[in-house]
Structure 1
Amino acid sequence: MSERHPNAGPYKDRHGRTRWRFRRAGKTIQLPGEPGDPAFEAAYLAAVEGRPPPGKPTARVTRLPSAAVPRSLRAAWRMVPIRLPEWQRLGPASKLRQSRIAEGFLASKVTEEAELLWGDVLVSDLRRRHLRTIIAAMSDRPHAARHLLVVIKRMILVALDEEWIDNDPSYKLRHRPEYVGRKAWPESVRQQFEKRWAIGTTPRLAYALGLWLGNRRGDIATLTPKAIEGDKIRIVQRKTGRELVLDITPMLAEVLAVADLSGPTILKTAYGEPFSINSLTGRMADWTKAAGIPPGYTLHGLRKTLGKMLAEGGATTRQIMDTLGHTAIAHAELYSREAEQERLASDGMAAVVKLVASRKKQAG
């Protein structure tokens, strides 16, 4: 061993040539040349410091797009077509739709800050609270939440069959949690919110945009000042791609008149930045709580409120569709049927009251 180079020493290779190597903690590193050579000294210093030898390329690990961590959610999904008979009974359209939903979920981040994708999460690490959080974030899209829960359940079923897990974290999990509502806001609740949050505040602006535009939270969060065109506002729906041109009602104009429209979006955080779609849901929950309003009154509930008001005001199904941006007539007809039911029920009960009064008069 060299005194100037601790842990380094010469040896004879099988050809009888003298070579040098660095040995420490059971690890051996070959050194080029001899002591005093620049290459030797650089390699020796790197070995002492635990670095790769200079000039030696570091191996790059490239992950193939199709790779799946063993026993992960992605690995389970890859086995669904092979292991589940239920999958074979699905039609081509259903298989394609569920595959798109699954791939979108698996490619999404566990949190906005983390780099970990849901596809790389081990099935054994998936907890019921994780699924509840995922579903709660989709409270304004219950149909999408239901479809996502279906494909996740397929992954869990594979994991159970393969004995990767012993318990089903999705057992009896509802795709629409009881604490999440899509209720229309009655007049009393709207008055309570407006009393707590005056015009000029961010909560009131979010409320007004949600109520008087009747669009989804993603469209509200990303709406820019450029969308305002005189007494109209232009919205391109994120979900459907439909372009809507809506009147700016006097109620909305009153709120926009004192709003900061310098951008980048109409609705901004206290730091002047756009709200993320998920955070806007949470903030509305905070604002309604501060107003003393019970849980269940959401941004999407304001969309339903406008639909209900349109129907009660006599708007046609087509008018409701073109205001709210529905692509299916069945959705818009729900508002019309509800309003019609209330009118018919009221007229019916009025007839009963008239009948009872008439009989009393005859008996007297």
Structure 2
Amino acid sequence: MTVGADMRIGYRYLVEDTDRHGNVRIYFRYPGYRKIRLRERPTSPEFAERYSSLIEQFATGCYKEAEKTSVSAVPGTLGWLVTAFRASKDFSNLDPSTQRTRARVLESMLNEPIFQEAAETFRNFPLDRIKLSDLEVLRDRKKALPGAATDRVKALRPMFKWATSKKHCVANPAISLTKPRLISNGHHTWLPDEIEAFQRRHPLGTKAHLALSIMLYTGARRSDAVQLGRQHEQGDSLRWTAHKNRNRYPTIIHIPMLQPLAAAIQAGPTGDMVYLLTEYGKPFTIAGFGNWFHDRCIEAGLPQCSAHGLRKAGSTRAAEAGATAHQLMAMFGWRSLAEAEIYTRAAERKKMAALGMAFLEKGVQAGESVPPIPDIKSSGTNNKKKPAKSDAAGAAGAPYGSRTRLFRLKI
């Protein structure tokens, strides 16, 4: 029996799915959770009681989503290891969004055959048989999508590191598993003209201008930009804990509030606990903010630009102005010196190229040029017939075609 229009009005969160046999099934789907099958007849008192119970559990926060169990999770197999790792403290310390991504990636690999058209999947693959080459197979199945291949490496490495520390594996087969090489510059870095174009379309006093100022003049990631607010102000500075890696490696960022940012906050519109609010007066989600900001970029005629590109623009500006790698690490919350050096090296190359071109320009202005090669008729390099071997050059043993002018020594 299907859910009618009148029932959809009275019952929220109900959805219908049709299985491969044409049977319509009714589910309760609360945002952020898996669907829950409702087996009761929709017009029956049992259905209404089950529905009311679910609504109450979600409203009070008492609902606990049951973990998926797999009958295939045989101890000592890869499927068993994934289940154990997801229940570990190391996994729970990850950001919730990272947990969801890693769980999805690991689960997708478990369902793949160990080789083409094989009946056995990696779920039941014995741990004591897993080698580096097996993990490379899983990685390389996504070679057409380097980002997806990298996600697989990022999911496998920490799991096998944990498994080795817990003695589930004798050796770590993923220790030498490398990420595929990504030939990409990543997000587009905003150019000065693009920033000016955005500000013309979204002038001071607009929410879009405020969002640009927050990211450009703090170097904040999207995840930080949506949480910054009045509580992070300390006099003439801002101080907050970076959202990324906040559970494992918390990084405190403490920077002065620059005048353009202070002016944008003063002009508003802002909230109290967070500067940036949606049209409904609520804080943005990270993904929601990224989509909203990109729409503002399109309005300014900048479809190639994004929120993350502003962070790169700020890094580039600071590096070209002379900021050191360690200063960039403090400003942008990086833990790796290598990441900061990407920008300092690029800035240094730009400066060196400018200095080198100045020398070239100086030489051209001075009228310097490469002296021409003299026309040596006896060199043998023209199109005339080569001299016979009995001539002076041949007698002297000099190679034909040489530019060296030969002289006969008179005694």
Contact 1:244 1:325 in 2 (8 A): yes
Contact 1:181 1:298 in 2 (8 A): no
Shift of 1:221: 0.3
* Match in the other structure for 2:285: 276
Instruction: Note closer, same or farther for the CA distance 1:356–1:154 as it changes in structure 2 (3 Å cut).
Output: farther
1:81-132 superposed Cα distances (whole Å, 9 cap, x missing partner): 6899xxxxxxxx9xx99977999679639xxxxxxxx96xxxxxxxxxxxxx
TM-score between both structures, scaled by the size of structure 2: 0.52
TM-score between both structures, scaled by the size of structure 1: 0.58
Match of 1:329 among 337, 341, 359: 337
Report the Cα distance in structure 1 between the residues aligned to 2:303 and 2:271, rounded to whole angstroms. 34
Q: Secondary structure at the match of 1:108?
A: helix
* Match in the other structure for 1:80: 78
Report the Cα distance in structure 1 between the residues aligned to 2:359 and 2:107, rounded to whole angstroms. 52
* Match in the other structure for 1:238: 243
* Match in the other structure for 1:251: 260
Shift of 1:235: 1.5
**1:229 equivalent in alignment to 2:221:** no
**1:154 equivalent in alignment to 2:112:** no
**1:298 equivalent in alignment to 2:298:** no
Instruction: Note closer, same or farther for the CA distance 1:103–1:197 as it changes in structure 2 (3 Å cut).
Output: closer
Report the Cα distance in structure 2 between the residues aligned to 1:348 and 1:342, rounded to whole angstroms. 10
Contact 2:206 2:269 in 1 (8 A): no
**1:186 equivalent in alignment to 2:191:** yes
Contact 1:264 1:273 in 2 (8 A): no
Report the Cα distance in structure 2 between the residues aligned to 1:83 and 1:158, rounded to whole angstroms. 17
Q: Secondary structure at the match of 1:271?
A: coil
* Match in the other structure for 1:349: 357
Contact 1:153 1:170 in 2 (8 A): no
Instruction: Note closer, same or farther for the CA distance 1:353–1:206 as it changes in structure 2 (3 Å cut).
Output: same
Shift of 1:344: 0.7
Q: Secondary structure at the match of 1:305?
A: helix
Report the Cα distance in structure 2 between the residues aligned to 1:97 and 1:348, rounded to whole angstroms. 55
1:165-209 superposed Cα distances (whole Å, 9 cap, x missing partner): 9xx995612318999942221101101111110111111111110
Report the Cα distance in structure 2 between the residues aligned to 1:239 and 1:66, rounded to whole angstroms. 26
Q: Which amino acid aligns with 2:100?
A: S
Report the Cα distance in structure 2 between the residues aligned to 1:289 and 1:178, rounded to whole angstroms. 26
Q: Which amino acid aligns with 2:312?
A: K
**1:219 equivalent in alignment to 2:224:** yes
Report the Cα distance in structure 2 between the residues aligned to 1:155 and 1:101, rounded to whole angstroms. 23
Report the Cα distance in structure 2 between the residues aligned to 1:248 and 1:216, rounded to whole angstroms. 16
Contact 2:293 2:307 in 1 (8 A): yes
Shift of 1:351: 1.9
Q: Which amino acid aligns with 1:226?
A: Q
Report the Cα distance in structure 2 between the residues aligned to 1:200 and 1:256, rounded to whole angstroms. 8
Report the Cα distance in structure 1 between the residues aligned to 2:203 and 2:338, rounded to whole angstroms. 36
Match of 1:288 among 297, 305, 309: 297
Alignment of 1:25-174 (within 5 A): 67-68=68-69, 80=78, 108=100, 151=106, 154-158=109-113, 161-162=118-119, 170=142, 172-174=144-146
Report the Cα distance in structure 2 between the residues aligned to 1:244 and 1:316, rounded to whole angstroms. 17
Report the Cα distance in structure 1 between the residues aligned to 2:347 and 2:291, rounded to whole angstroms. 30
1:338-361 superposed Cα distances (whole Å, 9 cap, x missing partner): 100101111122222333343447
Report the Cα distance in structure 2 between the residues aligned to 1:312 and 1:108, rounded to whole angstroms. 38
Q: Which amino acid aligns with 2:213?
A: A
